[in-house]
Amino acid sequence: MSWKYCFVAAILGLLVMGCDKPAPSADGTQPVSLALNWVPEPEFGGIYAAKENGAFTKRKLDVKILPGGAGAATWQLVAADKATFAVSSADEVLVARSRGADVVAIFATYQTCPQGIMVHASRGLKTMDEVFASGKLAMEPGLPCATYLKNKYGFDKLTVVPFDGDIRPFMANKDMATQCFITSEPIAARQQGGDPQVFLIADAGYNPYTAVVITSGQTARQKPELVKSMVAALRDGWRAYLDDPSAANAVMGKLNTTMQAGTFAAAASAQKPLIETEETKVRGLGTMTRARWDTLAKQLVSLNVITKAPPAAECFVEEP
């Protein structure tokens, strides 16, 4: 599996979905759509939990979940008014806004970015610096995080090869490192008898909010109660999923038959400390700060991903 939060071409079929806007029902229930940027997996567990346990219904939200896939153009869907909400990432929001798209974040699932570099534990590496000191690294070229790592550590002491989602080369070469998503490649490697060790890119200083739920700026401005209801439902859904992911995993397992039940459980466990942190225990699940947005915006400018940093306050809906 390749990293799901990279900048890729739009899936044209998605752009024709969700054009109609059903009116609220007689009891005030609001039909809305929520587009995912990947197939049903634990990174969306709280969304499916909110659907399953009635958190959406409780707040009069009739949520239609639109599964995605490779190249899912979620922020484009929101910007084009084809989806009410969608899952994206903080760096994509900044890129979108730099291109004139009025999209804003309302909920950040991963407080710690789950992207990392996976190595074999048998190499005995202690720091990220040592990862870049020798060997081979499989990485998608052009990603902001890849540019960040290249600038910080340099790629001159190791061989960099393209990453295509296949971990077999990694499994066959003890001196090879590979990019990873903590809920995916390390679990697969472990299931195949490997000894994966992961260095999170967040620990190296690049830590964008990930699995971010976004909406249009117009929706945020004109329908603040709708946004507030969605955030509250997502918090309830994620609270339920973090406490017991089994029900939502069963639902997602029927929709994504390529992932085994054990993998769902392992991924849910691996991601939990990246979602629930000391800060979320105080401020609430999904919380965001201006400081984090401002730091990321400046990093993307320094990496030449965007030419000008959008004001941090305009990138997300800040709760009182």
pLDDT of residue 120: 98
pLDDT of residue 175: 97
Task: Tell me which of 160, 185, 204 is where a domain ends.
Answer: 204
Sign of the dihedral through C-alpha 139, 144, 149, 151: positive
Residue 6 counted as domain residue: no
CA–CA separation, 200 and 90 (whole Å):
17
Is residue 1 within 8 A of residue 164, CB to CB? The reply is: no
How many residues are listed for the chain in this entry? 320
What CATH number did the domain enclosing 198 receive? 3.40.190.10
Percent of the chain past pLDDT 70, that is, above it, reads 91
Asked if 77 and 151 sit in the same domain, the reply is no
CA–CA separation, 196 and 187 (whole Å):
8
Residue 316 DSSP class? B
**pTM of the predicted structure, to 2 decimals:** 0.91
Residue 276 DSSP class? S
Residue 22 counted as domain residue: yes
For 214-227, b/e burial (b = at least 16 CB within 10 A) is: bbbbebbeebeebb
Task: Tell me which of 172, 204, 236 is where a domain ends.
Answer: 204
Asked if 150 and 94 sit in the same domain, the reply is no
pLDDT digits (tens, 9 = 90+) for 209-239: 999 999 999 999 999 999 999 999 999 999 9
pLDDT digits (tens, 9 = 90+) for 232-269: 999 999 999 999 999 999 999 999 999 999 999 999 99
Closest CA to 239 of 182, 278, 281: 281
- Other Cβ atoms less than 10 A from the Cβ of 48: the count is 24
Residue 123 counted as domain residue: yes
Task: Tell me which of 172, 188, 204 is where a domain ends.
Answer: 204
Stretch 37-60: mean pLDDT? 97
Query: Has residue 23 got a pLDDT over 90?
Result: no
Asked if 45 and 173 sit in the same domain, the reply is no
Asked if 212 and 200 sit in the same domain, the reply is no
In the numeric block, the tokens 């000391």 are attached to: 278
Asked if 142 and 232 sit in the same domain, the reply is no
Report residue 46 as tokens: 């709280």
pLDDT of residue 22: 61
For 312, residues 6+ apart whose C-beta sits below 8 A from its C-beta are 290, 291, 293, 294, 297
Query: Has residue 16 got a pLDDT over 90?
Result: no
Indicate the pLDDT class of residue 25, thresholds 50, 70 and 90: low
Q: Which domain holds residue 137?
A: 115-204
Asked if 280 and 236 sit in the same domain, the reply is yes
pLDDT of residue 73: 85
CA distances from 52 to 66, 231, 236, 247 (A): 15, 16, 11, 8
pLDDT of residue 145: 94
Least confident of 6-15, 88-97, 121-130, 247-256: 6-15
Query: Has residue 24 got a pLDDT over 50?
Result: yes
How many domains does the chain contain in total?
2
Asked if 104 and 131 sit in the same domain, the reply is no
Is residue 175 within 8 A of residue 136, CB to CB? The reply is: yes
